[in-house]
């Protein structure tokens, strides 16, 4: 194992293609002591059918099985990653409610693993899983690698989400005007158009005008959807 340095992470910066980026992550994972590497990206739009992208270098047979059995819906690490930012280590305990899944995974040589979730400024979630067939995780290894893995996850996630956001959600790139942001912010706090017109000292018509423009820019169907998107994407901070 090479010395695992931050330099190697810097190399991830600016990569254009998500597959190329994932290949680099696989190499980093190997240097880090893990044969397998998986990345799950969670784009929370639309909220009722959020997008999930999965990259992994697991055995192809397992990849197929995971999809056929729809294990994504069962996988406790994925559910964990949606609610927490703390790392989890694969264990019998973790897979209590999905024994079948866990046994199935192990039959494909996926014995030892840990997963580190993270978030970015746009409410987009990511989770890096590192795994291997052999050598169990020791306390010493966790001590040494825990924080590095969190950092690896964060850096990889920022790059992945940059690439995939631009590709799948062009509206995140459209800049809102100052007034549009003002009006959305007050709307997010529950003010009506007429209240906002008083606050900003403009007419109700103008408030609705800016709201309408922001709604179009954000590719939303009404102000509620617009304001949720803008808020989650961090445009109102």
Q: 217 to 236, contacts with DNA by CB under 7 A?
A: 221-224
Q: 193 to 222, contacts with DNA by CB under 7 A?
A: 193-195, 200, 202-206, 208-212, 215, 221-222
Residue 180's binding partner out of DNA, a copy of itself, none, with CB under 5 to 8 Å set by partner kind: DNA
Residue whose CB is less far from a copy of itself, 83 or 205? 83
Residue 175's binding partner out of a copy of itself, DNA, none, with CB under 5 to 8 Å set by partner kind: DNA
Of 173, 143, 150, the C-alpha closest to 161 is: 173
A 10 A CB-CB count for 139 gives 7
For 89, phi then psi, to 5°, come to: -105, 135
Q: How far apart are CA 200 and CA 71, in angstroms?
A: 51
Residue whose CB is less far from DNA, 56 or 213? 213
Residue whose CB is less far from DNA, 130 or 220? 220
Residue 194's binding partner out of a copy of itself, DNA, none, with CB under 5 to 8 Å set by partner kind: DNA
Q: How far apart are CA 39 and CA 115, in angstroms?
A: 9
Residue 85's binding partner out of DNA, a copy of itself, none, with CB under 5 to 8 Å set by partner kind: a copy of itself
Region at 66 (left for phi over 0; alpha for psi -120 to 50; beta for the rest): alpha
Element housing 14 (H / E): none
Closest approach, Cβ 177 to DNA, in A, equals 3
A 10 A CB-CB count for 44 gives 16
Q: How far apart are CA 5 and CA 152, in angstroms?
A: 10
Among 65, 119, 179, 217, binds a copy of itself (CB under 8 A): 119
Residue whose CB is less far from DNA, 91 or 192? 192
DSSP 8-class letter at 172: G
Range list of β-strands (E), 57-140: 88-89, 112-119, 125-132
Q: 68 to 87, contacts with a copy of itself by CB under 8 A?
A: 82-86
Residue 151's binding partner out of a copy of itself, DNA, none, with CB under 5 to 8 Å set by partner kind: a copy of itself
Of 16, 15, 35, the C-alpha closest to 27 is: 35
CB contact at 8 A, 18 and 126 = no
Binding footprint of a copy of itself on the chain (CB under 8 A): 5-7, 42, 44, 46-48, 50, 82-86, 119-121, 123, 125, 142-143, 146-148, 150-152, 154, 158, 185-190, 192, 220-225, 227-228, 231-232, 234, 236-237
Binding footprint of DNA on the chain (CB under 7 A): 175, 177-180, 187, 192-195, 200, 202-206, 208-212, 215, 221-224
């Amino acid at each position: 194992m090479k010395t695992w340095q931050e330099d190697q992470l810097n190399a991830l910066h600016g990569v254009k293609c998500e597959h190329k980026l994932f290949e680099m992550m696989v190499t980093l994972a190997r240097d880090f002591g893990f044969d397998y590497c998986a990345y799950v990206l969670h784009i929370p739009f639309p909220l009722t059918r959020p997008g999930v992208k999965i990259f992994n270098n697991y055995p192809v047979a397992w990849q197929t099985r995971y999809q056929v059995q729809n294990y994504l819906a069962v996988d406790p690490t994925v559910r964990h990653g949606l609610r927490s930012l703390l790392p989890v280590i694969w264990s019998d305990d973790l897979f209590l409610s999905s024994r079948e899944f866990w046994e199935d995974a192990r039959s494909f040589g996926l014995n030892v693993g840990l997963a580190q979730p993270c978030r970015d400024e746009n409410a987009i979630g990511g989770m890096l899983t590192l795994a291997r067939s052999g050598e169990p995780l020791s306390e010493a290894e966790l001590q040494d690698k825990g924080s590095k893995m969190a950092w690896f996850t964060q850096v990889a996630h920022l790059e992945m989400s940059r690439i995939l956001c631009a590709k799948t959600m062009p509206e995140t790139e459209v800049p809102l005007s100052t007034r549009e942001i003002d009006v959305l912010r007050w709307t997010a706090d529950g003010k009506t158009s007429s209240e906002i017109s008083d606050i900003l000292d403009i007419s109700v018509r103008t408030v609705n005008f800016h709201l309408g423009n922001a709604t179009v820019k954000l590719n939303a169907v009404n102000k509620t959807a617009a304001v949720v998107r803008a808020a989650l994407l961090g445009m109102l901070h």
